[in-house]
Amino acid sequence: MPFQWPSAYASAVHPPEEPPERSLWFVFRGGELLVAAIPAPATIPHCNNPKDLGMMLLRTQYLGVLGAEHCFSAEAAAQAQPPQGWSWQGLRSLFGALDDAQFALAGRAVQIVEWDRTHQYCGACGEVTGARTSERSRECPRCRLVVYPRLAPAVMGLVRRERSLLLARSPRFPEGMYSALAGFVEPGETLEQCLEREVHEETGIRVRNARYFASQPWPFPNSLMIAFFADYVAGEIQVDGNEIVDAQWFDVEDLPRLPAKISVARRLIDAAIGEMLAA
């Protein structure tokens, strides 16, 4: 099942007036999160401020409350060394090591940290921007341009033909791994139009009957992946060799190496397998 935020999480922009004695701190150096050093269990710093650990921070942001814990994100300098007993770890490596809620919040945190870092200056006139008090946004005091955290919607389509699935390989994939097709939505395009266009551009296959499955925030770096099933209509597989190096029809009982269970792609494929084997 897709991850669901627990009812105990409340997103917020403003920290409490009285600073909490201890909070969860999601501290990032680029895309790496500060966690307890291996082989200790992966834990997030739980302290008054990461300065208590000897860390100097460039910027901080308030995330809200998870359970009874106030949560903050923070950016460390690119050359920052971890305090003793801690290490920098990529988010992908922490899947299954952190609990689901903390992992999901870490994904939100890294996007907010990166957005805040890259929007310190106005993209229109170059003036220094300031954080707005009413919402998660930054505003230029000179030209009044308002910028919000960036989100790039992408559509994933799993094409079905009788008992076969259309799966493809990107040159970035691990050896032997295949997945569903995906691509970013273009301006003025519906999700369904994006699905049909991406599948045809990447494989030469025409599809129809797009059916929504699930979505997943994907903070690598700032995507929202929206997954669909679709049915084969016509066409023979032709790949361009650039974005897609191979695509094949795979029988549902003879599938190649698949993506990790962290991804909505794997849940999409597993759901299709269950439906097709039960039919």
Q: For the segment 49-76, what is each residue's pLDDT rounded down to a tens digit?
A: 888 888 889 999 999 999 889 999 999 9
* DSSP line for 43-89: ---EES-GGGGT--EEEEEEEEEETTEEEEEEEE-TTPPPPTTEEEE
Beta bridge partners of 164: 161, 251
Residue 6 reports pLDDT greater than 90: no
The full length of the chain comes to 279
- Mean pLDDT score across all residues of the chain: 93
pLDDT attached to residue 97: 87
Residue 142 reports pLDDT greater than 80: yes
Give CATH 3.90.79.10 domain extents, the chain: 152-278
Q: For the segment 177-195, what is each residue's pLDDT rounded down to a tens digit?
A: 999 999 999 999 999 999 9
Q: For the segment 241-257, what is each residue's pLDDT rounded down to a tens digit?
A: 888 999 999 999 999 99
pLDDT attached to residue 5: 53
CATH class of 152-278: alpha beta
Q: Which residues contact 258 (CB under 8 A, 6 or more apart)?
A: 177, 178, 179, 265, 266, 269
pLDDT attached to residue 214: 97
* Of 233, 229, 258, 238, residue with least CA distance to 156: 229
pLDDT band (50, 70, 90) for residue 44: very high
Nearest-5° Cα angle at 51, 32 to 119: 55
**Whole-angstrom Cα distance, residue 163 to residue 213?**
19
Task: Tell me how crowded residue 231 is: count the other CB atoms within 10 A of its CB.
Answer: 12
pLDDT band (50, 70, 90) for residue 4: low
Residue 165: φ, ψ to 5°: -120, 140
Task: Tell me how crowded residue 113 is: count the other CB atoms within 10 A of its CB.
Answer: 24
pLDDT band (50, 70, 90) for residue 31: very high
**Whole-angstrom Cα distance, residue 62 to residue 45?**
15
CATH class of 9-118: alpha beta
